[in-house]
């Protein structure tokens, strides 16, 4: 079991200071999500050999390890030119992972929920190009379904990954997306069990049920506008069934990566990250 910190709330810190902060908070692993000086959202990586050396030195100095790298690109977007650019970005990101001695990357299905069929076809086209590179370089890939992705549902996401039929691509369950995964029911145990042996990664943060109160938990104007809303809160601040989440993971003998990914409290980031680490340890390191 590796408990990692997504340091997005510390993205303003230079990389060495960000690594120092993770160590100070008690984390042994970092899952590096997009930041402007490394993997910006949807853009070509901003990484050179000097920055890689700097990052690796900071990890070595603190004893913190890199559990995974998390780039986000439009590899399933309906626009073919943008898809090709995303594949180019992915190729460089994979090269960076190799240079960082990081054997795992994770990401989202991406695309657009209102153009799902075309986006799935674009995703498969990208996978045709990239899977041989992942395999050649020895890099594993974990993929999550995300709100507004062409695939938002848990079971469909698991089936898509199973359909690729390669052992180095697996499924990531993101707890803050729970209510998108089964249309607001939030019945976690059967979703985790459906993923079964393909479940190698979880993201831990709380959220509200956007389907609650007759779909009036959030009021969006104008009514009917295409939008998705969720949070990444501390455990206990939302409506995720944490007893079911943790007990099911224990029952499944989950031994993958558990990433703390709270984004909502930059003004109390240290307190939030320490609280989350303590809670996850209590639940999963019994």
Residue 228: helix, strand or coil by DSSP? coil
Q: How confident is the model at residue 250 (pLDDT cuts 50, 70, 90)?
A: very high
Q: In Å, how far are 113, 204, 218 from 222, measured between CA atoms?
A: 19, 32, 12
Residue 248 near residue 192, CB atoms below 8 Å: yes
What's the average model confidence in pLDDT over 130-152? 97
Count the domains in the chain: 1
Q: Tell me the mean pLDDT in the region 113-132.
A: 97
Torsion angle, CA of 112/83/170/18, rounded to 10 degrees? -90
Asked if the bond preceding 222 is cis, omega within 30° of 0, the reply is: yes
Supply the pLDDT for residue 233.
97
% of the chain residues with pLDDT over 70: 100
Q: Which of 166, 120, 175 is nearest to 147 (CA)?
A: 175
Q: Helical H runs in the chain? A: 15-25, 49-62, 80-99, 116-137, 154-164, 178-181, 188-195, 212-215, 242-251, 269-284
**Given 3-state DSSP classes, what are the helix, strand and coil percentages for the chain, each rounded to the nearest 5?**
50, 15, 40
User: Environment class of residue 96 by beta-carbon count within 10 Å: exposed (0-12), middle (13-18) or buried (19+)?
Assistant: buried
- Band (211; pLDDT cuts 50, 70, 90): confident
CA distance 281 to 286: 8
pLDDT, position 212: 87
The residue-averaged pLDDT of 45-64 equals: 98
pLDDT band of residue 219 (cuts 50, 70, 90) is confident
pLDDT score of 181: 96
Q: What is the pTM of this model?
A: 0.96
Model pLDDT for residues 87-117, shown as the tens digit of each residue: 999 999 999 999 999 999 999 999 999 999 9
> Alpha carbon of 210 to those of 22, 106, 138, 224: distances in Å?
31, 25, 39, 14
Q: Looking at residue 8, what is its pLDDT?
A: 98
pLDDT at 226: 78
Q: Which residues of 12-49 are buried (b: 16+ CB within 10 A; e: fewer)?
A: eeebeebbbbbbebebbbbbbbbbeebbeebeebebee
Place of tokens 């000086």: 37
- Confidence (pLDDT) at 80: 97
Share above pLDDT 90 across residues of the chain, in percent, rounded to a whole number = 92
Which domain, by its residues, includes 41?
2-285
Residue 56: C-alpha distances to residues 46, 52, 75, 89, 140 (Å): 16, 6, 28, 21, 20
Phi, psi of 284, deg, nearest 5: -110, -10
Judged on CB neighbours under 10 Å (0-12, 13-18, 19+), 215 is exposed
- What CATH number has the domain bearing residue 181? 3.20.20.150
Q: Give pLDDT, residue 14.
A: 98
* pLDDT > 90? residue 218: no
Over residues 150-168, the mean pLDDT reads 98
Give the list of residues 6+ apart from residue 218 with CB closer than 8 angstroms, or none. 210, 229
d(CA 220, CA 226): 9
Tell me the per-residue pLDDT of 19-50, one tens digit each, with 9 for 90 and over: 999 999 999 999 999 999 999 999 999 999 99
What mean pLDDT is reported for the chain? Answer: 96
pLDDT(81) > 90: yes
Q: What is the pLDDT of residue 40?
A: 98
Say yes or no to pLDDT of 224 above 80.
Answer: no
């Amino acid at each position: 079991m590796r408990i990692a910190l997504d340091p997005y709330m510390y993205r303003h810190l230079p990389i060495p200071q960000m690594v120092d902060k993770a160590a100070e908070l008690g984390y042994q692993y970092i899952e590096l999500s997009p930041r402007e000086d490394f993997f910006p959202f949807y853009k070509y990586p901003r990484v050179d050999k000097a920055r890689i050396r700097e990052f690796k030195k900071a990890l070595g100095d603190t004893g913190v390890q890199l559990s995974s790298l998390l780039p986000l690109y439009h590899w399933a977007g309906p626009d073919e030119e943008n898809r090709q650019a995303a594949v180019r970005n992915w190729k460089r990101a994979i090269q960076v992972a190799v240079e960082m001695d990081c054997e795992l990357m994770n990401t989202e299905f991406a695309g657009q929920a209102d153009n799902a069929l075309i986006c799935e076809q674009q995703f498969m086209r990208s996978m045709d190009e990239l899977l041989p590179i992942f395999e050649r370089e020895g890099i594993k890939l974990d993929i999550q379904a995300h709100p507004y992705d062409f695939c938002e549902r848990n079971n469909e996401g698991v089936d898509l990954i199973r359909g690729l039929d390669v052992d180095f691509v697996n499924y990531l369950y993101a707890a803050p997306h729970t209510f998108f995964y089964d249309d607001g029911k939030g019945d976690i145990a059967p979703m985790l069990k459906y993923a079964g042996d393909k479940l190698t990664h979880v993201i831990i943060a709380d959220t509200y049920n956007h389907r609650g109160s007759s779909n009036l938990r959030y009021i969006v104007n104008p009514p009917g506008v295409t939008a998705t809303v969720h949070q990444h809160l501390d455990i206990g601040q939302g409506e995720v069934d944490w007893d079911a989440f943790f007990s099911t993971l224990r029952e499944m003998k989950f031994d993958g990566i558990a990433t703390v990914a709270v984004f909502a409290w930059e003004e109390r980031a240290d307190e939030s990250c320490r609280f989350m680490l303590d809670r996850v340890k209590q639940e999963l390191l019994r």
